[in-house]
Structure 1
Amino acid sequence: MTAAAPPVGDPPPADVAAPADVAARGPRPRRGIAGWIVIGVVLLLVGGVGAALAGLSQWVARDALDPESAGPAGTGALAEVLREHGVEVTVARDRSSAQKALLAADATLVMPDTPALSDGGVENLAAAAEDVVLIDPRSRTLRLLLPGSRPAGYGSGDVVEPGCDLADAQRAGAILPGAVASTTGDAIACYPSGDGYGLLVHDDGSQRISAVDGRTLFANESLAENGNAALAINLMGRHPQLVWYMPGIGDTDLATKDPSLGELTPPWVSPVIVLLLFSAVGAAIWRGRRFGPLVPERLPVTVRVSETTEGRARLYARSRDAVHAADQLRLSALARLSRLLGLGPAASATEIADAAADRLGWDRRAVRGILIEELPRDDAQLVALRDRLSHLEGAVRQAVRPERNAQ
């Protein structure tokens, strides 16, 4: 290839040099700070909306058997029905407030399962009430408050009549029992189903204790079925005061005897951990990067576009890649011919070649060979192709703008 390599594309209108101030211009700190502020505000808004929705859902649907819950498993409907019948319903969420309300007047205690209370705590709480209704009876509460009774699985799934002489059950009528219990004591057993009974009642004259599956019968979604509502009113409405005990997670009288992590570790561990934390913070401050405004840095050198073009041409010459160099020449020629012929930027190489041939009256195959098909094998053929491209471009320019060329 000759020393002067062919041009690789359209020459730029002028030497382009990237200004140093453009390269050194850093990001605008105000815009960055404003973006972080907007992100923080959005996160706060999302957190606030989430907290509000969580609070609303807490009041709409609490735990199962909760008298302040309007969810399907809650008992808010039963609490309202009892109030309409003149019963004052007090919801106690800790043991002390429940005992205080029970000691203030003759009252009925409605108690779910209380795994966080000890046996003594359950017995003391029940002893303060005139009536006790176990709406989620388990083996421990049955053993403590209804001796001789135990869980017996679930009922047969059929609606059953009371099958006993208890007046409250007779007035309520038939129900569909859920969990059932059996007894060998002197408790009255009603609603036989499966291997047990849907209701157990023990009355010794001074206190009456009942056990019934409130999850199945007294929940909002099933209260209106069969005689469920009537049975609930008969069992819980015997006194003008009703204390509904719903224990919280921290309401317990069980003292844990397991040692804590602090008790198991030697006394010198905590000071050492604190010292290590302070050391880590100090090391981070000492060796950490100081954030601040970006420091402008000027470019070390400005490279002219003509030098870049010549350098690429020398690389083509050194690699002896005549085909690649011919492609670059043809791409530039096609772009110029497209502008001369008034074709759009989306015109293909074949369309440009055919338009040039039609304008000149030349053979289309010959023009396509020059612009597309012929592949040079060496430097001599590449130079010859360059000359033919230049001649073709000059002929098209002469045909398109004859008066300008004449001048």
Structure 2
Amino acid sequence: MTLVAEDTATASAASTAERPPRRRRLRTLGGWAIVAILVILGAFVAIQVGVSMPSSRGSLDPQGVGDSGAMALAELLRDQGVEVTVARSRDDARAALDENTTLVMSNPYTLTDEGLERLIEPADRVVFLSTSSHLLSVLGIGTSANGPSTPVSADCTVPEFAKVGDIRPDRMFAPADGVEGCFGDADAAAVLVDDDDGIRRTVVEAGRLFSNAYLAEDGNAALGLALLGQSEKVVWYVPSFEDSDIQGESPDTLGSLTPGWVTPAILLLFLAGAAAAWWRGQRFGPLVAETLPVTVRASETMQGRARLTAKAADSAHAAEALRDGSRRRLARRLGLAVTATPDEIADAASDRLRIPRGTLQTLLAGPPPADDPSLILFARQLDELETSVDDSTRSPRTPE
């Protein structure tokens, strides 16, 4: 029974000793697996973001809820009884145009000049919420200009702008001949209005004025209603790459400009890095305490420390080490405690050797030597003191 109990205890102890390292190893493997999965997911997300096309809910999108979207203005128009139709293709936009309708769009960067002319041809009112220099040239409505960044008022004859108030424009234009400039002066205006044969074309840089983040500032909302709320219906055309005039081609992206092997190579590099990190980071078992293969002699240690002290030219530190050793040996030979003070050792040695106490006190507790010659003399004096104490201890006392 005793042998069985001992075997059982030994087996349980061995199993208990083996379980913690195994559990630690499993936890380590699980941690590295999680890190590898996170790295792969991060690489996949970065690649997808890099090769993806621009979002269809971009700047001044009437269905965009972000800071740069224009959903707030669209809802404000609906509250005023204006029907707002969002068109993401030119065919839908042309089909939605009828009488008493305003066509609204940002810079149609995906359309050619001919495509733009066909789109705006049936519209009586067109409002461009952003423009490029090329679009200004195509419309013949003006050019870019420098103007003040301070708030400006309408200061023009357009009646719907009379109650707008001040706005802080983000971009100014120089109106062409026959084009009226509002919210500025004759040289630089924030809004250009071109009335030609009953067709009104208006240009304004509304990226900051009509966005959700800034619509409530100054007279921005009033200007938006004055521009887009003059008709019963608004057709808001949103340019997109799907409605581009470049047939059979897609815009260049990071994925289309790089060879097909780049994405797999990046994933393989991430996997190789994770495998290398796991390989180099794992532990090869518990730490093992081993005895030193060589025993270092005390004399060699002493000589090594002496060489370091000599190389550092630290005579004060060397003198203190010599003095400490002498005090310990003198205390033992004089029958004093190990914790005896220098004064106690000096008193005992003075009584034993019949020499003045002040000399020994200076030697055992005085200032250390400042140079090597003084250190040599100091060491010789300590040695003579120890020899004298030894001789006095060994010599028999003469009877009185």
Question: Shorter-chain TM-score: which interval?
Answer: 0.5 to 0.7
* From 67, 79, 84, the counterpart of 2:79: 84
Q: How far is the alpha carbon of 1:369 from its aligned partner?
A: 0.7
Which residue matches 2:218?
Answer: 225
SS at match of 2:194: strand
* From 174, 178, 194, the counterpart of 1:201: 194
Change in Cα spacing, 1:376 to 1:390, as seen in structure 2 (3 Å) is farther
Residues in 1 aligned to 2:390 and 2:93: alpha-carbon distance in whole angstroms: 107
Note the alpha carbon deviations across 1:44-87, whole angstroms, 9 max, x for none: 59x99xx9xxx9xxxxxx9654543554x654542332132133
SS at match of 2:195: strand
* From 311, 328, 336, the counterpart of 2:300: 311
Residues in 1 aligned to 2:210 and 2:255: alpha-carbon distance in whole angstroms: 46
Residues in 2 aligned to 1:63 and 1:162: alpha-carbon distance in whole angstroms: 32
Residues in 2 aligned to 1:111 and 1:233: alpha-carbon distance in whole angstroms: 15
Residues in 1 aligned to 2:214 and 2:253: alpha-carbon distance in whole angstroms: 44
Which residue matches 1:294?
Answer: 284
Change in Cα spacing, 1:35 to 1:259, as seen in structure 2 (3 Å) is closer
Which residue matches 1:237?
Answer: 229
* From 175, 183, 208, the counterpart of 2:176: 183
Give me the TM-score of the superposition, normalised by structure 2.
0.54
Residues in 1 aligned to 2:168 and 2:280: alpha-carbon distance in whole angstroms: 73
Note the alpha carbon deviations across 1:3-56, whole angstroms, 9 max, x for none: xxxxxxxxxxxxxxxxxxxxxxxxx686577468558569959x99xx9xxx9x
Change in Cα spacing, 1:155 to 1:270, as seen in structure 2 (3 Å) is closer
Change in Cα spacing, 1:387 to 1:83, as seen in structure 2 (3 Å) is farther
Q: How far is the alpha carbon of 1:134 from its aligned partner?
A: 0.7
Change in Cα spacing, 1:379 to 1:356, as seen in structure 2 (3 Å) is closer
Unaligned runs of 5+ in 1: 1-27, 56-61, 344-351, 395-407
Q: Which one has more relative contact order, counting CA pairs under 8 Å at least 6 apart?
A: 1
2:156 is the counterpart of 1:163: yes
Contact 1:70 1:77 in 2 (8 A): no
Contact 1:139 1:151 in 2 (8 A): yes
Which residue matches 2:205?
Answer: 213
Q: How far is the alpha carbon of 1:141 from its aligned partner?
A: 2.2
* From 107, 114, 117, the counterpart of 1:120: 114
Which residue matches 1:384?
Answer: 384
Contact 2:83 2:234 in 1 (8 A): yes
Paired letter, 2:80: H
Contact 2:327 2:364 in 1 (8 A): no
Contact 2:175 2:192 in 1 (8 A): no
2:100 is the counterpart of 1:110: no
Note the alpha carbon deviations across 1:356-384, whole angstroms, 9 max, x for none: 44788873551341466474459976753
Which residue matches 2:363?
Answer: 369
Residues in 2 aligned to 1:389 and 1:110: alpha-carbon distance in whole angstroms: 112
Unaligned runs of 5+ in 2: 1-20, 50-56, 352-356, 370-374, 394-400
Contact 2:151 2:166 in 1 (8 A): no
Residues in 1 aligned to 2:128 and 2:307: alpha-carbon distance in whole angstroms: 97
* From 124, 143, 150, the counterpart of 1:151: 143
Note the alpha carbon deviations across 1:142-171, whole angstroms, 9 max, x for none: 333x3x32225145657444532x443346
Paired letter, 1:100: D
Change in Cα spacing, 1:203 to 1:87, as seen in structure 2 (3 Å) is farther
Paired letter, 2:82: V
Change in Cα spacing, 1:32 to 1:248, as seen in structure 2 (3 Å) is farther
Q: How large is the RMSD of aligned CA atoms in angstroms?
A: 5.9
Change in Cα spacing, 1:122 to 1:386, as seen in structure 2 (3 Å) is farther
Residues in 2 aligned to 1:361 and 1:381: alpha-carbon distance in whole angstroms: 15
2:135 is the counterpart of 1:135: no
SS at match of 2:297: helix
Change in Cα spacing, 1:258 to 1:388, as seen in structure 2 (3 Å) is farther
